[in-house]
Each structure stands twice: as C-alpha cells, then as structure tokens.
C-alpha cells in the first residue's frame, strides 16, 4: 500500500494522466472516498487522458456509462444503487470487457471485482488537498508511484 499527497487540482490531473498511461485492457480501478472526495473529478481527468472527448459525469442513475474510444474504451460504473441487489445484470460484460473500468461503490458488487484491481482510497484533507492511498494490483501501483515520484 502506498500513500501520496495530492496538493492541487493539477496534481489530481497528473495522477489521473499517469494512471491512464499505465492501464491496459481489462484493468479495473476502484475509487473509494466520501461524497466530494473527488472520485468523479478524478474520472473526468482520467477519461480525458485516455483521449475521450465526451462529457464524463457520474453514472449514479445509469449505473454504467460507456465511453467508446479508439485508444481505449472506458466503462464507468457507479454501483451505489446496487446495494442489496441480488442477481446478474450483466456488468461482467464491461468489467471483463474491451476496455478499462472505473468502479465507484465497488463494495456493493464485490463478487464482480477482480482480485488484481487497483484501488484508490481518496481522503479529503481540506478543500483542496487529498490523500490518495493506492493498493491492489502491485505492478500497476508500483508503476504509478514511480512515475509520480519522477515527475
């Protein structure tokens, strides 16, 4: 587990850009954090870094939004409304799909989250500063941390 300190919105963007440059098809990124921690903001920067030009916003109502893109497809899942939902709604087609998947509220779909996911726990320190704890997918975490330190 590695912790990094994000001191500005620009830092958030840089972290998202680093991650976007390292991910591969099939990677799953779990974003955890309280309301206002910056999960959606991070995803917006991440999508932009992948080359997605569409507006990215929270899929709380839709549960999933797909952003098809030449470089890498992005599936953005918000499982908040799946708490206590039993049964298959086909999310595995995206999680194990042809792209990278960002999952918010992954704790409600733990069965579907692959073990090698990378998890970002985002903690709000103050209005601007965030502490981001990276865990899971070891090689990816290592790559991201290295790139973060070298920037």
Partner 1 sequence: MARTLILDTSCKFMVVGIASNEKILYSTQIECFQRQSEIAMDEVYKALEITKTDPKKISKIIVTVGPGSYTGIRIALTIAKVYANALHIPLVPISTMRAMAGVKGRKISLMDARSKRAYIGIYDGGEKVVDDSVMTIEEIEKLLDNYKGYKLVGDTHLLNVESEEIDFVKNLYELGKNETGVVDVGNINPVYLKDK
> What's the CA gap between 31 and 75, in Å, rounded?
13
Should residue 85 be labelled a site residue for partner 1 when binding is judged by CB under 8 A? Answer: no
Pairing of strands 130-136, 74-78: unpaired
CA 55 to chain centre: 16
Min dist. Cβ of residue 144 to partner 1 (A):
26
Should residue 61 be labelled a site residue for partner 1 when binding is judged by CB under 8 A? Answer: no
Of 4 and 63, the one with the shorter C-beta distance to partner 1 is: 63
Beta bridge partners, 124, equal: 130
Q: Which one among 3, 51, 71, 96 touches partner 1, defined by CB under 8 A?
A: 96
Backbone angles phi, psi at 84, to 5 degrees: 80, 0
Should residue 115 be labelled a site residue for partner 1 when binding is judged by CB under 8 A? Answer: no
Query: Do 15 and 3 meet the contact criterion of CB atoms below 8 Å apart?
Result: no
DSSP 97: S
Of 46 and 94, the one with the shorter C-beta distance to partner 1 is: 94
Should residue 93 be labelled a site residue for partner 1 when binding is judged by CB under 8 A? Answer: yes
Q: Which one among 53, 84, 90, 149 touches partner 1, defined by CB under 8 A?
A: 90
Binding site for partner 1 (CB under 8 A): 66, 68, 87-90, 92-94, 96-98
């Amino acid at each position: 587990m590695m912790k990094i300190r994000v001191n500005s919105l620009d830092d958030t963007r840089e972290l998202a850009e680093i991650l976007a440059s390292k991910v591969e098809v099939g990677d799953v990124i779990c974003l955890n954090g309280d309301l206002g921690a910056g999960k959606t903001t991070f995803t917006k920067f991440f999508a932009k870094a992948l080359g997605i030009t569409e507006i990215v916003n929270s899929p709380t109502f839709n549960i999933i939004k797909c952003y098809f893109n030449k470089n890498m497809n992005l599936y953005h899942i918000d499982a908040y409304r799946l708490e206590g939902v039993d049964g298959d709604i086909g999310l595995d087609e995206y999680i194990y799909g042809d792209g990278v998947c960002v999952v918010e509220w992954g704790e409600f779909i733990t069965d579907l989250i692959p073990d090698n996911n990378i998890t970002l726990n985002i903690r709000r320190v103050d209005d601007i500063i965030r502490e981001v704890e990276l865990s899971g997918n070891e090689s990816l975490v290592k790559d991201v941390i290295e790139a973060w330190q070298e920037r």
